[in-house]
């Protein structure tokens, strides 16, 4: 698998990003930039063509580009983030997906939807009910994706659904059973191991903060690329948050 990887560099106000379920820590902007460059390089090494969304230096959470759009085939669903201060992030992402030739549609008021609450696994789309995503947003997404099976998911103690669970290339769901109730869940040895980005084939991207999970997945036959995203983890970010993959 290959295609476009949409990313956005962190701006100088990244330390002001929203923190909900963890204690705030100081974020080093220069280190975040270096980690983001290494993240983008890992995507490129896996065959993805990295495309940068225009900078949004005035918006602290803008590098978490996943929350602004959900891509299904050639359709780009522009979200309406649950945090009002994040809604200005969407317009520049909208321009980027249109430049890629995708058809753009929108979640409308009173719906709210964060892309981090949307987990696509084959024909099924799991959507977390959260402080950022409401039932109206889920219903609108279902109407926009009639060919997909939409499964609402309740969760607790995490910002987004994909903060608790993601999917391996073979469709296996991997995540924290204490945060989300889903059947057949593979529980990793570390919390950060719940966050996996499939890169194509048996390749996956994983945070360097989950070395035991990396070993577990390698024993199962997956090729694991590890990246240090510690500055973004201070803002409840994970490897899935920092990109939107658009397959060819």
Catalytic residues: 160, 241
- The pairing of beta strand 165-167 with beta strand 173-175: antiparallel
Strands (E), the chain: 3-7, 48-52, 69-72, 75-78, 103-106, 118-121, 124-128, 149-153, 165-167, 173-175, 196-200, 203-207, 223-227, 244-247
**Residue among 2, 7, 68, 10 at smallest CA distance from 230:** 10
H runs (alpha helix) in the chain: 29-45, 90-99, 135-144, 211-219, 230-233
From CA 155, how far away is CA 24, in angstroms rounded? 22
Contacts of 84 (CB under 8 A, 6+ apart): none
Asked if 112 and 82 count as a contact pair (C-beta separation under 8 A), the reply is yes
Q: Please name every residue paired with 6 in a beta bridge, in sequence order, or none if there are none.
A: 51, 244
User: How many CA atoms, within 13 angstroms, populate the side-chain half-sphere of residue 47?
Assistant: 12
List C-alpha distances in Å: 64 to 172, 212, 221: 24, 25, 29
């Amino acid at each position: 698998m290959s295609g476009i990887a949409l990313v956005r560099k962190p701006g100088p106000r990244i330390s002001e990003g929203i923190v909900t379920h963890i204690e705030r820590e100081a974020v080093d902007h220069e280190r975040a930039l270096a980690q983001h460059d290494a993240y983008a390089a890992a995507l490129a090494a896996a065959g993805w063509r990295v495309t940068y969304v225009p900078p949004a230096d005035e918006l602290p959470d803008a590098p978490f580009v996943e929350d602004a759009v959900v891509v299904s085939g050639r359709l780009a669903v522009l979200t309406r983030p649950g945090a009002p201060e994040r809604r200005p992030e969407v317009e520049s992402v909208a321009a980027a997906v249109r430049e890629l030739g995708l058809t753009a549609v929108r979640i409308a008021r009173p719906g709210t939807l964060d892309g981090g609450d949307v987990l696509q696994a084959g024909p099924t789309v799991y959507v977390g009910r959260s402080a950022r995503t409401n039932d109206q947003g889920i219903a609108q997404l279902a109407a926009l994706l009639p060919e997909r099976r939409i499964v609402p998911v309740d969760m607790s103690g995490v910002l987004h659904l994909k903060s608790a669970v993601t999917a391996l290339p073979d469709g296996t769901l991997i995540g924290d059973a204490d945060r989300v109730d889903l059947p057949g869940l593979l529980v990793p040895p570390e919390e950060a191991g719940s966050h996996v980005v499939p890169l194509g084939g048996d390749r996956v991207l994983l945070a360097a903060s989950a070395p035991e999970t990396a070993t577990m997945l390698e024993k199962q036959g997956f090729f694991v690329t590890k990246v240090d995203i510690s500055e973004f983890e201070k803002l409840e970010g994970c490897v899935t948050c920092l990109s939107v993959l658009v397959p060819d």
